[in-house]
Chain A
């Protein structure tokens, strides 16, 4: 079976979510898109993604809290997470144990570089 990296995406902005999904799918990643963090632990366990990309501002939720939830769950805490936001001051990956952060708007090369860098590590 083809070993296509799986990326779980969470962004409450439908346009951004779809754009990221399209770009990643077109570049040989398999994506799983969600507009919120509902059942995140269960979803992550079921999908077993190779990476999560989580927007920080998710309406009622904070993407950094979702990141902390994953990182405090032993069986899935090893999965790399990138947090994204248009607000640079919210992007301190160390605070929520994310592997990296990307400031929006980002270009496609930067997105792939970040993904490749962290996928390789794991």
Chain B
């Protein structure tokens, strides 16, 4: 006989101080057979009260901008109390630091209120399966910032022009050679090696050998 296992609907607790938003979300989610709204809260305190008083939720979706206790503090409280549910943020703002902070506080999702309803429903299902979901608008923003940072690093690197001898010495420094060992190996005086070493520090704006090697590694100057 074939055994059928019915997956229970995902129990969702919504936290937003704007009644219209709560109702709109509840209306949308309520149409989904695999989702069930188990609670609506207009503040972090009310959400925690519901959870402490027996409301069983698989996922809490919260706004960040809440009166008295904000969404970040709510996430921190849930984490601290070790409440067994997943969390996601649904906010107007999606700065890199907000997304980062939410994820650090255990959020499995970061969604913007400009999200398309289909994407929201997809995100909920994705999170419930144990994944992390950053909505496409925020993800694109994060990717652009990342690309921009990488590009700045690359530009900074390209601005540094090393002579063949300096590059050679840089490789040897990275391999752990001392000034004396490099001098012997390259048939140069120790003073000349020291001069090249100082020039490398100056050109790469590095404070010491450690930061010089770090710069070289990030810039792809090491073979």
Contact = CB atoms under 8 A, between A and B. Distances in A.
- Chains A and B bind each other: yes
Interface of A: 14-16, 18-23, 25-27, 105-108, 111
18 contacts: A15-B18, A16-B18, A19-B21, A22-B20, A22-B24, A22-B25, A22-B113, A23-B20, A23-B23, A23-B27, A25-B117, A26-B28, A26-B117, A26-B120, A105-B19, A106-B20, A107-B20, A108-B27
Contacts of B28: 26-27
Nearest to A20: B20
Given A25-B117, A26-B117, A19 B20 contact: yes
B18 A26 contact: no
Contacts of B19: 105, 107
Contacts of A20: 20
Q: Which of A18, A19, A22, A107 has the most CB of B within 10 A?
A: A22
A18 B92 contact: yes
Interface in B109-123: 113-114, 116-117, 120
A16 B20 CA distance: 8
A19 B23 CA distance: 10
A20 B19 CA distance: 11
Given A19-B21, A22-B25, 18 more contacts: A15-B65, A16-B18, A19-B18, A19-B24, A22-B20, A23-B20, A23-B23, A23-B24, A26-B24, A26-B25, A26-B27, A27-B24, A27-B27, A27-B28, A106-B20, A107-B19, A108-B20, A108-B24
Nearest to A106: B20
Nearest to B92: A18
Interface string B46-80: 00000000000000000001000000000000000
**Which of B19, B24, B92, B117 has the largest count of A CB atoms less than 10 A from its CB?**
B24
Interface string B95-133: 000000000000000000110110010000000000000
A79 B25 CA distance: 28
Question: What secondary structure prevails in chain B residues at the interface with A?
Answer: helix
Contact of A108 (B23, B65, B114, B117): B23
Contacts of A16: 18, 20
A2 to B, nearest CB: 13
A22 B92 CA distance: 10
A21 B114 CA distance: 8
Closest 5 CB pairs of A and B: A23-B24, A19-B20, A108-B23, A26-B28, A19-B18
Contacts of A105: 19-20
Interface string B14-35: 0000111101110110000000
A27 B117 CA distance: 9
A16 B113 CA distance: 12
> In this complex, which of A16, A23, A105 has the most chain B Cβ atoms within 10 angstroms of its Cβ?
A23
Contacts of B25: 22, 26
Contacts of B113: 18, 21-22
B148 to A, nearest CB: 27
B120 to A, nearest CB: 8
